[in-house]
Amino acid sequence: MLSGQYERVHPEAHPRGKRLAVLTLTALGVVYGDIGTSPLYAFKEAFLPEYHLVPDQGTVYGLLSMIVWALVMVVSVKYIAYVMRADNRGEGGIFALLALLLGQPLEGKRGKRRRKVLIGLGIIGAALLYGDGVITPAISVLGAIEGLEVATPAFKPAIVSITMVILFLLFLMQRHGTDLVGRIFGPIMLVWFFSIGALGLAEVAREPQILAALSPWYGVRFFIEHGTAGIVVLGAVVLAVTGAEALYADMGHFGRQPIRLAWFALVLPCLLLNYFGQGALVLRDPTAATHNPFYLLAPAPLLYPLIAIATMAAVVASQALISGAFSLTQQAIQLGYSPRMTVVHTSSREAGQIYVPEVNTALMVGCLLVVLGFRSTSALSAAYGIAVTGTMAITTALFYVVTRTRFGWRLGSALALTAAFLAVDFGFLGANLVKIEHGGWVPLAIALALFTLMTTWKQGRMELTQRLREQSLPLQLFLDDVARKKPLRVSGTAVFMTSTPDGVPVVLLHHLKHNKVLHQQVVLLSIGVADVPDVPRPEKVVVEPLEFGFFRVRAEYGFMESPDVKDLLKLCEKQGLKARYAETTYFLGRERLIPTGPSRMWRWRKQVFVFLSRNARSATEFFGIPPNRVVELGTQIEF
C-alpha cells in the first residue's frame, strides 16, 4: 500500500489468547508511558508553596480523591468508554477525528461555516499536541533524574546536565527507528508498573485507612474548604491524566481491546496504589510532601535501581510523544497543512514506524531549551498541562459532533455527555490558565506558531492552486490544438505531475511551448488524499485513456500513507497503461513565487508561505520519483 514493500495491517478487532497478551504488553510500552510516569511528579506538585496546602488528613484525602476521580472520569469513562469508539478505520487522534468529521456532507453557508470551525479546532488541537511533545520528554526525564537528589544532595548540580545528555541521546537514536527498542518497551513498563504498585501497596498496608479517599466526598469537601484555591490546585491534579490523549492517538496501532485490558487490569490499579502510597507516606511523615514522596517510598537499597527503572520508563514516555509527533506530521503533510518533509520508514514490516528528521531536530532543540530554562519539574509543571487540557477540550467538542452525525445520538443524550466531559475539561483548563505567566505561555507560544504556519501553508497552497488553474487550459481544448498542430512525437512516456485533476498542467504547456515535442505517451498524474488512513491497493489508482496517447491518472492515498510514483505506474499496467522505467521521464514544475499578486493573504503571510515553499522537501524525493528521470521546468507565479 504505502510503497509496495510497506503494508499497513490494522490490529484485529477481537484478538484472543497469546495475540491479545502480546498486543496488551506492547500497548503498555507505547500508550501508557506518559500517564505511567506521572506519579514521579503529580502528587508532589500539589504541595508547591504557591498552593499553600498543609499536608494534613483533609488535604491528602481530598487530593487523592480528586486524582482517583480524574483518572476515572477522564481516562476510564471519557477516552476508554466513549471517545475510542470514534475511529477512522481503526485510526485515532485529532487529525483522524477531524478527517472523520469532514467526510460528512456539509452543504450551504451554515455547513461551510461549521466546516471552518471544525478545521480550526482540529488544527489548534494538533498544534497544542506539538507543544505537549516538547514538554513531556523534558518533565518525564527530569522527574526521573531528580531521584538522584533524594539519594544524595551531591547530585543536585548535575541533574540538569544528566537530563540534557539523556534527551540528546534519545533524539539522536531516532534515526535508527524504534523497531528494536520497541521490543523492550513493553517489558520495561511492565516492570515499572509492578514496581510502583508494590511500593505503594507496602505503604498502604501500613496505613489502610488511606483507602477511604476513594470516596468522591473528600474531593467535594476539599473544594468547599479551600474555595478558589481548590480550583487552582486542579492544575497539579491534571498532571495525573496528561497522557490520556495518547490512548486515542495510538489506538490504530493496537486496537481498543488491548488498550482497555492493559488499563483496567494493570495500569489503573498500579497508579492508584502508588498515589495512595504517597498519600499514606505524607500523612505518616508530613515533611515528605516538600521533598519527593515518590522516591521516599523506596527503601534505601532499592533507590538507585528505582531511579534506573524510572529513567527507562521516562524514555519510553518520551518516545511515545516523539513518535506521535512524527505520525502527526505525516498526517498534516498528507492533509495539506504542512510543507513536504522527509519521512523515513524505519521498519520494512510496520508502516507506522517513521522518522521525520526536521521534526526530530525541532523537538530536540525545544526540549533542551525547556530543561535549561526551567531546571526542575516544579518549575516545569507550570508549563505542563495547559496544552494537553486544551486538546482534551477540543476532542470533547469534536466528539460531540461525531455523536450527532455518525452515531445518530439524540440531542439531549449528546449534550448531557458532552456537558459532563466539558465540565471536567474546562475545570482543568481554567486551573492551568493561571500558570500562563509562570511558564504556561511556552506550549501556547509553540501552538500559536504552529497554528499560524499550518493555516498559512494551507491557504497559500489553495491560492497557488487557484493561480495555476487560471493559467491552465481545458483539456479538450488542448487536445484539439494537438490534433490541429500535430507536434513532433518522440518515443517513451512523459509523466506530468499536477495538483489540479482537471485541465492541463502549466508544466506541460511550457514544455510544448519551448521544446515543441511530445512523447508517444503523455500521463497527467494527480495525487489526492482521502479522508481515511489508507486506501486499498486495488482502489488506489484510476486510469482514464484519452485521445492521441494521453492518459489521465488519478491516484489517491490515505492520510497515513506515503506516496510512491513508481509503485503507482506499476498499478497502472493492470489498467492498460504500460510505462517502461528506462523510457519514462517525469516533468515537474519549479515555481518562483512572487508575493505581489492579487491573492487575499496578508503580505507577511505570503512571505512566510514563500519561505516554507523554498524549504519544503522536493517533489522528487517526496513522491519517490527516480531523480535521474526528472526534468524540472521553472515558472514565475504572482500570488
13, 87, 341, 479, 539 from 558: Cα distances, Å:
20, 14, 17, 32, 11
pLDDT at 16: 67
DSSP class of 81 = I
DSSP classification of residue 218: H
DSSP 523: E
Buried b (16+ CB within 10 A) or exposed e, 66-76: bbbbbbbbbbb
CB contact set of 356 (below 8 Å; sequence gap of 6+): 325, 326, 329, 330, 341, 342, 343, 344
Q: Per the structure block, which three cell numbers stand in for 612?
A: 516554507
Query: What pLDDT, on a 0 to 100 scale, did the predictor assign at position 348?
Result: 54
pLDDT at 108: 64
In which element (H, E) is residue 259 found?
helix 256-262
Q: Is the pLDDT of residue 6 over 60?
A: no
- Flag whether pLDDT at 2 surpasses 60: no
The residues, ordered by sequence, that sit 6+ positions from 491 with a Cβ below 8 Å of its Cβ are 519, 520, 583
Sheet hosting strand 550-557, strand order edge to edge:
541-545, 550-557, 517-529, 488-497, 584-594, 630-638
Span 202-221, average pLDDT:
94
Q: What is the pLDDT of residue 13?
A: 55
Contact 616, 590 (CB under 8 A): no
Amino acid in position 519: H
CA distance 63 to 29: 28
Q: How far apart are CA 376 and CA 139, in angstroms?
A: 8
Q: What is the mean pLDDT of the segment spanning 34-41?
A: 90
Q: Are 326 and 355 in contact (CB under 8 A)?
A: yes
Which residues are registered as beta bridge partners of 315?
none
Q: Please tell me the distance from the alpha carbon of residue 25 to that of residue 254, in angstroms, as a whole number.
A: 10
Count of alpha carbons within 13 Å of 616, Cβ hemisphere only? 23
- Cα(96)–Cα(108) distance, integer angstroms: 24
Residue 93's pLDDT is: 78
pLDDT of residue 14: 65
Band (pLDDT 50/70/90 cuts) for residue 361 is very high
What DSSP letter does each residue of 24-41 carry, written as one string?
HHHHHHHHSHHHHTGGGT
Torsion on CA atoms 141, 145, 150, 152, rounded to nearest 10: -170
pLDDT digits (tens, 9 = 90+) for 420-432: 999 999 999 988 8
| Residue, of 121 and 50, whose pLDDT is higher | 121
pLDDT score for 15:
66
Helix (H) or strand (E) holding 593: strand 584-594
Measured CA angle at 33 (ends 168, 68), to 5 deg: 135
517 phi, psi to nearest 5 deg: -140, 160
- What is the spatial distance between Cα 307 and Cα 310, in angstroms, rounded to a whole number? 5
Q: Grid coordinates standing for 602?
A: 496578508
Nearest 5 degrees, angle CA 229-CA 231-CA 237?
A: 110
Q: Say if residue 147's pLDDT is above 60.
A: yes
User: Who has greater pLDDT, 578 or 63?
Assistant: 63
Please state, in angstroms and rounded to a whole number, the distance separating the CA atoms of residues 161 and 373. Answer: 12
Question: Which stretches does DSSP call E strand in 499-574?
Answer: 517-529, 541-545, 550-557
Domains and CATH numbers, the chain: 22-459 (1.20.1740.10), 473-638 (3.40.50)
| Stretch 387-405: mean pLDDT | 89
pLDDT at 8 over 60: no
Residue 495 phi, psi (nearest 5): -110, 120
Helices (H), 71-158: 94-102, 108-145, 147-151
Rounded mean pLDDT of the chain? 85
Q: Report the alpha-carbon distance of residue 154 to residue 139 in Å, rounded.
A: 21
Cell of residue 64, nine digits: 487523592
410: confidence class by pLDDT, cuts 50, 70, 90: very high
- Grid coordinates in use for 637? 507565479
CA nearest to 239, candidates 143, 363, 372, 367: 143
The confidence score (pLDDT) of residue 63 equals 95
Lowest-pLDDT choice from 220-229, 242-251, 354-363:
242-251
pLDDT over threshold 80, residue 30 = no
Res 567: pLDDT: 84
Over residues 5-34, the mean pLDDT reads: 68
Rounded CA gap, 116 and 12, in Å? 35
- Poorest-confidence range of 194-198, 236-240, 499-503? 499-503
Give the Cα separation of 292 and 303 in Å (integer): 12
pLDDT tens readout for residues 515-533: 899 999 999 999 888 767 7
For CA atoms 129, 134, 137, 143, give the dihedral sign.
negative
> What was the pLDDT predicted at 149?
85
| pLDDT score recorded for residue 616 | 87
Q: What does DSSP assign to residue 286? A: G
Q: With bands split at pLDDT 50, 70 and 90, how would you rate the model's confidence at 213?
A: very high
Q: Is the pLDDT of residue 414 over 50?
A: yes
Cell triple for 632? 524540472
Q: Which of 494, 510, 390, 399 is nearest to 128 (CA)?
A: 390
Q: For strand 344-345 and strand 630-638, is the pairing parallel, antiparallel, or unpaired?
A: unpaired
- The CA-based angle 435-242-196, given to 5 degrees, is 120
| pLDDT tens per residue across span 560-598 | 777 888 888 888 988 888 888 889 999 988 778 888 777
**DSSP label of 154:** G
Spell out a b/e string for 526-561, using b for 16 or more CB atoms within 10 Å of the CB, else e: bbebbbbbbbeeeebbebeeeeebbbbbebbbbbbb
pLDDT of residue 106: 59
Check pLDDT > 50 for residue 5. no
Q: What is 367-414 written as a DSSP string?
A: HHHHHHHH-SHHHHTTTSSHHHHHHHHHHHHHHHHHHHHTS---HHHH
